[in-house]
Amino acid sequence: MSVRRGSYVRVKCLLLEPGNRKSGIPADTASVAYEMRVAGYLAMDASEGEEVQITTVTGRTVTGKLEDAHPAYTHTFGPIDPILHEVGPRVKAWLRR
Amino acid sequence: MVETVTMNLLDYQDTKTQQRILLGATGVDYQEFEDSGLGFGYEALMQSPQVEWTDVVSTQKSFKVGDTPLFELKGITQIVRHMSRPGHGAQILLKDEAANASGSFKARRASLAVALAKRRGYAGVVAATSGNYGAAVASQAAMQGLKCIILQEAYDSHGVGQPEILEKARACEAYGAEVVQLSVGPELFLELLKVLDETGYFSASLYAPYSVLGVETLGFEIATQCRESYGRAPDSVVVSHAGGGNVTGTARGLLRAGAMETTVIAASVNLSGLHMASDGQFNRKSFTTSHTGFAMPFLDQPDRVDVPRNACRPLRYLDRMVTVEQGDVFYATELLAQFDGLERGPAGNTALAAAIPIARDLPDTALVVVQESEYSGAGKSHYAQVAFARENGIGVAVGDPRKSTPGVNIILPATPEGMTVADVDLRAVREKYVRRRSVHGEHSEADVAFLAEETRLPVAAVQEILGRK
């Protein structure tokens, strides 16, 4: 699906190929690509996965693969964890002992 | 046709290129401070921002930083005394640094860096940080009218981000900054150089002298507030410790206030066994700061940072260093919320987790200050961290936190009596520091004096280690 020019999107850029990483890093890291993700305004109509240009909020031009047409904040507080949830009541009981 | 030549990221490993970019981006000629031997003029470097103390305080005040409350943690002190032997159980106080603009003590560092950048005419600031410092720089840049780029190590190779870091990215963007999110690896420094080179912005390095100077107000305020309320400086100040700026700045601030007898204790979360540059282990940790993965290497190799000489030199100031487990800090975070009504952290509660068992063994007349708190929120909350750990196959249980293995399981204590600290052998670290700097041949008197200053070891001890080599 086409994403309109001017949309605020996130691109992914390949900075270093696997095997071409800085020397002396752990093997698992050396065997994967070094990547960058940046958000900005799309310079042209494009589809997800296409190589595009964006202009970031500071005015920089960045070229990368259109990864996310609608970047969102999806991190949460998480579910109620029984172990954490019981700390308060348990310590209150302990204080009464 | 014009051919554009773009530098490969690895080209930024060139020393001359690095020196050129950093001189332009920091305005500090680090060569000026180098001695002929292995030392450098630390105090001369620290004085290089040429800012009066009164200006430091007034700059911070004008940018919504500092003068934070020092609260008595009555609930937690009651818990400590419930398990202490008679006459023991120190009073615990909390310096509520979450009250700074952007929600952490990092605003103290950022406010000076951004003000300096503005005064020197830079159009923007850049910082490499996955932590609260990013939000602090972004917030300060917003109010001081500069552009801001924050570089974070955020994702593993599967594109899975640390929730705590994603929250910091959100905060930076909320303040109008550009966030450059990188996958795992030390090449972040090279990308930082590239961005500095491309933009000509100021490098708001965490390891620059003004960044430490900004924290000195924190130590100074602690001593002053304790004297006002209790008639004396605190007996101990416990500091959450990672890169070393918090310890260095706080200790210097205490000394500046004349609190010579206060014991400075660093506390870090034990993440031993996890490699900080490992893609596979990146999301197996539940703390992205205040942990030993940063703290330990920086102790004896402080200059492996994004400036030639690090202004954060914890070995010069530390009286004691302890580690706590991840489960201890989550537990302390619950205690702070449930018994003192403050929802903070969790990473900023590392010092609190250490202060509880430390206070237990001190006289009940002693004052222990936990020197920071930080804002909490989605992604950062201990609930989010524990959920993320479980998603990554990390076990979560109740038992003896000392028996936990970072990256494998998290164990919360069953009662507050199960909270302990493990002392780091600082003498061994100090000796290791000297051994690392010993080179073949003779050492000048200046070298020996420098190493003694750096490590707080007696001159004779330094000479003995060098001679042994």
Round to whole Å and give the CA distance between B314 and B299.
6
- Low-confidence spans in chain A with pLDDT less than 70: 1
Q: Copy the structure tokens of residue B440.
A: 């073949």
Tell me if B218 sits within 8 A of B178, measured CB to CB.
Answer: no
Confidence of residue B18 (pLDDT cuts 50, 70, 90): very high
Is residue A89 in some structural domain?
Answer: no
Q: Where are the domains of chain B?
A: 64-100+210-423, 434-468
**Tens digits of residue pLDDT in B440-462:** 677 899 999 999 999 999 999 99
Round to whole Å and give the CA distance between B183 and B162.
11
What average pLDDT does this structure show over B90-119?
Answer: 97
| Residue of B13, B166, B339 lying closest to A75 (CB–CB) | B166
Predicted local distance difference test score (pLDDT) of residue B136: 98
Assess whether pLDDT exceeds 50 at residue B4: no
Is residue A55 in some structural domain?
Answer: yes
Predicted local distance difference test score (pLDDT) of residue B1: 42
**Tens digits of residue pLDDT in B352-366:** 999 999 999 999 999
What average pLDDT does this structure show over B26-54?
Answer: 92
Predicted local distance difference test score (pLDDT) of residue B3: 44
Residue A8's H or E segment, with its range, is: strand A8-16
Please tell me which residue of chain B has the smallest CA distance to A88: B338
Domain B64-100+210-423 annotated CATH 3.40.50.1100: yes
Q: What is the pTM of this model?
A: 0.96
Please answer yes or no on whether A87 and B338 come within 8 Å at the CB atom: yes
Please answer yes or no on whether A33 and B183 come within 8 Å at the CB atom: yes
**Tens digits of residue pLDDT in B274-313:** 999 999 999 999 998 899 998 999 998 999 888 889 999 9
- B-chain residues within 8 Å CB-CB of A57? 176-178
Q: Report the domain count for chain A.
A: 1
User: Where residue A38 sits, what CATH number does that domain have?
Assistant: 2.30.30.760
Chain length of chain A: 97
What average pLDDT does this structure show over B202-222?
Answer: 96
Q: What SS3 class is residue A72?
A: coil
Size of interface A-B (CB pairs under 8 A): 150
**Tens digits of residue pLDDT in B330-386:** 999 999 999 999 999 999 999 999 999 999 999 999 999 999 999 999 999 999 999
Predicted local distance difference test score (pLDDT) of residue B27: 84
| Residue of B82, B148, B278 lying closest to A26 (CB–CB) | B278
Is residue A42 in some structural domain?
Answer: yes
Predicted local distance difference test score (pLDDT) of residue A1: 67
Tell me if B290 sits within 8 A of B324, measured CB to CB.
Answer: no
State percent of chain B over pLDDT 90.
Answer: 91
Average pLDDT of every residue of chain B: 95
Please answer yes or no on whether A29 and B379 come within 8 Å at the CB atom: no
Predicted local distance difference test score (pLDDT) of residue B50: 85
Is residue A88 in some structural domain?
Answer: no
Assess whether pLDDT exceeds 70 at residue B2: no
Sign of CA dihedral B267, B269, B272, B276: negative
> To which residue do tokens 């005394």 refer?
B81
Is residue A92 in some structural domain?
Answer: no
Minimum distance, in Å, between the CA of residue B149 and any CA atom of chain A: 8
- B-chain residues within 8 Å CB-CB of A58? 124, 147-149, 177-178, 199
Note down the domain range covering A12.
Answer: 2-72
Q: Would strands B409-413 and B395-399 be described as parallel, antiparallel, or unpaired?
A: parallel
